[in-house]
Structure 1
Amino acid sequence: MSDTATPENTLTRPAQTATGASPSTRDIDATMNTRLAALHTPKLRDEYGQQGSFLYIEDFLPRDYTERLIAAVHDVMPAVNRNYLPGHKAGGSVSRHTLDKLAPFIADLYRSEALIKWLETITGDKLQLSPEDDPHAYALYFYTRPGDHIGWHYDTSYYEGRRYTLLLGVIDDSSCRLDYELHTKTPGIPDQPGSVQYPPGAFVFFDGDKLRHRITPLGENEMRVSLTFEYVTNPSMRPFQRFISNMKDSIAYFGFRQVFRRKSGKTGQA
């Protein structure tokens, strides 16, 4: 079940320069390069590997970037698509197609070459952007009503290669926690449970097929919003897998209009 309100106005994207990069993209790369240079990357890479492709950093984003993400949440509130799957999920979502129009800063941050290269160092994989028709490429997830949650699951990749999930904390006035289990698919290593309540600006990164996880239910008078980025190693997807992915996204997250709008030609620039 869903109730959808999606604005149709399209905002103008930043002007492109002769090099093809917008000023905001250059600024983001410069800022992220500075922030990432301050991290102990070799230690974090080892931690990621030891935890079976999982990494948590409490203080990751620059403060002003977190503030811009919080502002984006308020900009997209009228476009939240709510869904309810009995026994598994309740909450709201805003897909990349709407974010492209109402919160272009998120799209620019997702495409940051500095961020992607750093993630490649952590994973050892060559990462690519998700295809433009993937509404999960970058999306905001809203927990705004008591009981909003998502049950135990993997971020299953329907692509030919791996799909990595990056979670960024945006708003967390809640008692919700990200519960997870490490090594569930690592032969010879016992499952290792963990739990974290990641604050605004925090970073969680993992291989979607390896981390079993959930978000615990929202309490009364609470609110939680997180941002996800999805990167892939191979953007190819077989037709049947595409069908399954589209149906899941339509029913559980964004609604049929957002998932299938690009196929009908009703989309702006991504």
Structure 2
Amino acid sequence: MKLKTEIYQAIAAVDYHKLQAEFQAQNELLVLENFLPNSILDRFLSLLPSLQPAINRNYIPNHKKGGSISRYSLDSVAPIFGEFYHLSTFFEFLNEITAEKLLPCPDTDPHTYALYYYTEPGDHIQYHYDTSYYHGKRYTVLLGLVDTSSSKLEYQLYRDIPNRETQMRSLSLTPGTLVLFNGDKLYHRVTPLGENEQRIVLTLEYVTDIRMGMLKRFVSNMKDAIAYFGFRQVFRPWGK
């Protein structure tokens, strides 16, 4: 109940009309600094030491290097992340901004909510879209937890709109910052981490249709297994 109250108070302070307008004007992208209350942020941060053993490191030459923790591990060790993901107040906020009826991803999606760890020199991810393998749209929420780095979230705004000039932008995902975007519209990357730097991000995924074909589910699972969470996490026996 306390978590719901804290996020309700944070959302109550925003100007919905302004944020809705920004979201649409930026081709379904919104950046909101200092969104996450310090009380919630501090609780998330307090759990990070206990999550260290669950990090799966991955390296794909010329594409990605970093660490990740899937929703399965979070459910087991730190269920507060799943509780936050499912908060009805947060869903209502996202629905208002996107003008969609968003749905939680199925329990079989390891990317529903996850942590990204950029903690070693050179950790990064190259330009990509958060492609939706679902029948409907997929919206990504990024929440900054730790950022003691020079690494940036760089993105190309309006890249998918014909006859409109692409704008190059970048930002630091400082603790508490929220970034919301349509995964099929924002072409983005994370620039390489430097020496003695650290960047940890909570990612949440919401969709407009939970259906997914068998082939696309296989492709999605293979991507998550290779690039994020490892085969044991993604293809683990159901319920374990």
Normalising by the residue count of structure 1, what TM-score does the alignment of the two structures yield? 0.87
In the alignment, structure 1 residue 103 sits paired with structure 2 residue 78: yes
**Cross-structure match for 2:47:** 72
Letter in 1 for 2:238: G
Shift of 1:113: 0.5
In the alignment, structure 1 residue 195 sits paired with structure 2 residue 165: no
Distance in structure 2 (CA, Å) of the matches to 1:187 and 1:123: 22
Other structure's SS at 2:101 match: coil
In the alignment, structure 1 residue 51 sits paired with structure 2 residue 31: no
Distance in structure 2 (CA, Å) of the matches to 1:171 and 1:241: 33
Aligned partner of 2:88 among 78, 101, 113: 113
**Cross-structure match for 1:159:** 134
In the alignment, structure 1 residue 130 sits paired with structure 2 residue 105: yes
Other structure's SS at 2:5 match: helix
Distance in structure 2 (CA, Å) of the matches to 1:163 and 1:27: 29
Shift of 1:74: 1.5
Q: How does 1:167-206 map to 2 (within 5 A)?
A: 167-206=142-181
**188-197 or 40-49: bigger deviation:** 188-197
Distance in structure 2 (CA, Å) of the matches to 1:31 and 1:188: 43
In the alignment, structure 1 residue 84 sits paired with structure 2 residue 56: no
Shift of 1:266: 4.5
Deviating 4+ runs (over 6 angstroms): none
Distance in structure 1 (CA, Å) of the matches to 2:216 and 2:47: 32
**Cross-structure match for 2:13:** 38
Give the % identical residues.
Answer: 49
Other structure's SS at 2:151 match: coil
For structure 2, the residue ranges without an aligned partner over 5 or more in a row are: none
For structure 1, the residue ranges without an aligned partner over 5 or more in a row are: 1-25
Shift of 1:34: 1.2
**Cross-structure match for 1:19:** none
How many residue pairs match? The answer is: 240
How large is the RMSD of aligned CA atoms in angstroms? 0.9
**Cross-structure match for 1:231:** 206
Q: Deviations over 1:99-140 (max 9, x none)?
A: 001111111100010011011000000000011011110000
**Cross-structure match for 2:68:** 93
Distance in structure 2 (CA, Å) of the matches to 1:36 and 1:235: 26
Q: Deviations over 1:4-57 (max 9, x none)?
A: xxxxxxxxxxxxxxxxxxxxxx32222211110101111011000000000001
Aligned partner of 2:190 among 215, 223, 227: 215
Other structure's SS at 2:34 match: coil
Distance in structure 2 (CA, Å) of the matches to 1:266 and 1:112: 23
Contact 2:3 / 2:40 at 8 angstroms: preserved in 1? no
Letter in 2 for 1:65: I
